[in-house]
Structure 1
Amino acid sequence: MAVTVETLEKLERKITLSLPLATIQTEVESRLKRLARTVKMDGFRPGKVPMKVVSERYGYSVQYEVLNDKVGEAFASAANEANLRVAGQPRITEKEGAPEGQATFDAVFEVFPEVKIGDLAEAEVEKISTDVTDDAIEKTIDILRKQRRTFAQRAADAAAQDGDRVTVDFEGKLEGESFEGGKAEGFQFLVGEGQMLKEFEDAVRGMKIGESKTFPLAFPEEYHGKDVAGKTADFLVTLNKIEAANLPEINDALAKSLGIADGTVDGLRADIKKNLEREVKFRLLARNKAAVMDALLTKAELDLPNSSVQSEIERLKTSARADLKQRGVKDADKAEIPDDIFRPQAERRVRLGLVVSELVRANELYAKPEQLKAHIDELAASYEKPEDVVRWYFGDRQRLGEVEAVVIENNVADFVMSKAKVTDKALSFDELMGQG
């Protein structure tokens, strides 16, 4: 087989493939003979259909299959012989004017790029650190207490204050007209916890049972109700009931109710600290890994295979349609989504994937079995039966592959950090958690 390779532009290549027609014809006849032994046709017993009839009925489709197979094999062989790393599928077209007895095809395709990674010692990375403080532990205990609070009706002359649960009737009007969602009876909310717009909470705070009040409420421009967003409505609110919140005490009974093994407050604090430290570790890892990847991209030079970018765009569009469907959007699977919406994200992912792959290959940063086991053990530690979770991960190749990808990314992050100019920055617990 004669093979010629041409460079068209950047990553695009062309291979010309020549196949002997005799080879194709021999394979076509062989497949038709096999087909004749099993094919069923009206008027003939199975296996007794004449070859001429089989050929007339199936000859074209079998020839098409053979051509596809043979051209595919020839392309794979030629690409392998030329040491080409093919990205995506080739576009194959038949050439006219082939020598007698030959079929000639042009295969146009892209190759993966050469990735050049500059001096990582010049890369700059900001590394975040966070400590789990006693204050963070106490705030978590307060959240747990609030989740278990009870309410008791306050005295008739009490005024609503932060922390109270109030029951109100209200009606809002825009230029004297009622609007959808602007009226409710027996509506409950907690004062001072941001469940209602600030003007609403400010109006109710200090009111007494049986009292009514009229006040203006300006809806924000980004308010979810489009009919009232950016407009000011007049509200009438009547306070029907005030209930004071009672928080459980921080004692052994609370610890026991939260499932703490030794049923003590010290055990509760230790358990909370352990869980917060695990959450902080994973968040720091994600943040610092993202910073490393950003720094890595600034030191990499490469051309992007259009086929890889397009595949990633299609994957992102499929994911977006699935998300729309989950939200109940009608005909979400047919939604027209322009490629350009996802192109920057797709290009970044493809670029990052190629750069990381090159760094892993060049520096042998592959996931070791002991790293996989340690990472899965850590993921499983927060579950009631960690051994079941470990078995779940190791019992599925795809799940294991996802963990392997994370471990490799961690190896890359550690490698780049060891080379780069690293600036340490301490974040408070609240700052880290507030950034998702």
Structure 2
Amino acid sequence: MKVNDKKNEGIDREYEITIPSNDIDAKITSKLNEVGKQVKIPGFRPGKVPMGLLKKRFGASVRSEILETTLQESTQKLFEERNLKPATQPKIDLISFEDGNDLEFSVSLQLIPEIELTDMSSFKVEKLISNVSDNDVEDATKKMAENNKKSVPLTNRKTTKDGDLVVIDFVGFKDDKEFEGGKAEDYKLELGSGSFIPGFEEQLVGIKVGSKKDIKVTFPDNYENDDLKGQDALFKINLKSIESLQVPKVDEEFSKSIGFESLKDLKDAVKNQINKDYEYLSRMKIKREMLDFLAENNKFDVPSSMVDEQFDLIWKNIIQAKESNSLEEKDAKMSDEDLEKHYKSIAERRVKLGLILSDVGDKNNLSIGPEELSQAISREASRFPGQEQHVMEYYKSNPQALEQVRAPLLEDKVIDFLLESSEVTEKSVSSKELKELTGATEVDGPVPV
């Protein structure tokens, strides 16, 4: 194998490789001999088929197979001999592959860049510490009570108003025909909740129990059912009763109704969860500032091939969001050109940070052990009660899904490693200051119920 260097600029490499025709012919002949031992051709015993006949019948397919394997093997040999670490799949172009002549092809690639990490001792960050107050716990338990409202029949009023829970039968029609999924009986709907399509709930305000009413609506353009997107529809409604939603008192009875032994157990669980939330917000702030520091203070060539791949993944999501009219408001206001430029820069940042963190992990032998991975999968499985075993088996049999669990674990381990060399100071703040400084709009103490 002869290798001719054609390009060596930064992380870009290009080579022209020549494989002698004798080597190619020998591989083809060897493969045809293998075929001859297995193939059955009338008039010939296995292994006795003339080479000329084998070439006539199988020469083209064998030649293509030898070409493919030779390109792969030669490229891999090039990487090993030159100690090359490709950033993405190399581009291989065939130059010449004629009978009796040498095989010539080119290999173009970008390399994983060499990274010299900036001095992390110059990274200074504040770790925000916020103690959970009694008010925090009280606010969280009140929200839990709000989420567990109880409905009771309303007897002192017969006309609906916003906020009522109404019990209705309804049938939906499009072009005077019932459509699938548009019918229900004894359906409970909270007026003003926004859980139905726009205009539906508003037309149920101010009508009396026992009334029947036709409601005309238009389905949104981004409605999930393609047959109903943007379509006009009519719903025939029968208002059967009104119920009042009452927020339960946070007491012993309420605590037991949602699975706790006592009010104290509920408050302890809520306090513990809020504390975890506060710690998470504090850590996310530290992580965000560290990633900004790493991106700004480490200079190296970022492989454009990796950026292009990352951008393509992002852009597919943007296109899907556009088609479903679910693009974020700030993105919807941007031109396609500005939007593409914006997400290109995000793609480059992601690739750059990924390379830095991976390099730190490799150089310092940081990895995720089987036990750590198993614990993470168990935590994920616990989110699906009754299906834990199925979830565990899914991850064990799906390498790509397993990597999605492993990657953030390794990222956190690298972040912790880098923090050991950084200057971290603690600062006590109120819960309000914590939310403001971390950009959190609110922090619930979500206890699963």
Q: TM-score, normalised by structure 2?
A: 0.65
**1:377-423 superposed Cα distances (whole Å, 9 cap, x missing partner):** 65567776899699658845735543332221112222343415668
Offset of residue 223 of structure 1: 11
Distance in 2, matches of 1:145 and 1:48, equals 83
Structure 1 residue 349 corresponds to structure 2 residue 362? no
Distance in 1, matches of 2:281 and 2:59, equals 61
Equivalent in the alignment of 2:360: 359
Residue of 401, 421, 434 corresponding to 1:426: 434
Offset of residue 43 of structure 1: 7.7
Residue of 417, 420, 427 corresponding to 1:415: 417
Equivalent in the alignment of 2:217: none
Greater mean alpha carbon deviation, residues 40-49 or residues 360-369? 40-49
Contact 1:110-1:307 at 8 Å conserved across structures: yes
AA matched with 1:142: A
AA matched with 2:441: E
Distance in 2, matches of 1:259 and 1:252, equals 11
1:154-193 mapped onto 2 (5 Å cutoff): 154-156=155-157, 163-165=163-165, 190=190
Q: 1:129 to 1:66 in 2, by over 3 A?
A: farther
AA matched with 1:410: D
1:83-232 mapped onto 2 (5 Å cutoff): 83-94=83-94, 102-123=102-123, 125=125, 127=127, 131-132=131-132, 133-146=136-149, 149-156=150-157, 163-165=163-165, 190=190
Identity within the alignment, %: 25
Q: 1:72 to 1:395 in 2, by over 3 A?
A: closer
Distance in 2, matches of 1:397 and 1:187, equals 40
Contact 1:137-1:272 at 8 Å conserved across structures: yes
**1:219-276 superposed Cα distances (whole Å, 9 cap, x missing partner):** xxx999998xxxxxxxxxxx9975432344444443333233xx32222333344445
AA matched with 1:112: I
AA matched with 2:30: S
Greater mean alpha carbon deviation, residues 248-257 or residues 36-45? 36-45
Equivalent in the alignment of 2:295: 297
Q: What is the count of residue pairs matched by the alignment?
A: 391
Contact 1:19-1:102 at 8 Å conserved across structures: yes
**1:136-176 superposed Cα distances (whole Å, 9 cap, x missing partner):** 43234323432xx11221414x88777543689xxxxxxxx
Question: SS state of the match for residue 89, structure 1?
Answer: coil
Greater mean alpha carbon deviation, residues 355-364 or residues 28-37? 355-364
Offset of residue 125 of structure 1: 4.8
Contact 1:164-1:190 at 8 Å conserved across structures: yes
Equivalent in the alignment of 1:406: 408
Q: 1:202 to 1:56 in 2, by over 3 A?
A: closer
Offset of residue 310 of structure 1: 3.1
Q: 1:109 to 1:29 in 2, by over 3 A?
A: same
Question: SS state of the match for residue 115, structure 1?
Answer: coil
Distance in 1, matches of 2:198 and 2:34, equals 79
Distance in 2, matches of 1:288 and 1:348, equals 18
Distance in 2, matches of 1:190 and 1:320, equals 33
Distance in 2, matches of 1:2 and 1:112, equals 24
Contact 2:127-2:283 at 8 Å conserved across structures: no
Structure 1 residue 245 corresponds to structure 2 residue 253? no
Q: 1:241 to 1:288 in 2, by over 3 A?
A: farther
Equivalent in the alignment of 1:57: 57
Offset of residue 13 of structure 1: 0.9
Offset of residue 290 of structure 1: 3.7
Distance in 1, matches of 2:312 and 2:37, equals 42
Q: 1:242 to 1:13 in 2, by over 3 A?
A: same
Q: 1:62 to 1:326 in 2, by over 3 A?
A: farther
Contact 2:32-2:59 at 8 Å conserved across structures: yes
Equivalent in the alignment of 1:79: 79
Contact 2:377-2:392 at 8 Å conserved across structures: no
Distance in 2, matches of 1:387 and 1:197, equals 35
Distance in 2, matches of 1:49 and 1:2, equals 35
Contact 2:92-2:105 at 8 Å conserved across structures: yes
Question: SS state of the match for residue 145, structure 1?
Answer: coil
Contact 2:36-2:47 at 8 Å conserved across structures: yes
AA matched with 2:368: A
Q: 1:276 to 1:307 in 2, by over 3 A?
A: same
Offset of residue 354 of structure 1: 0.8
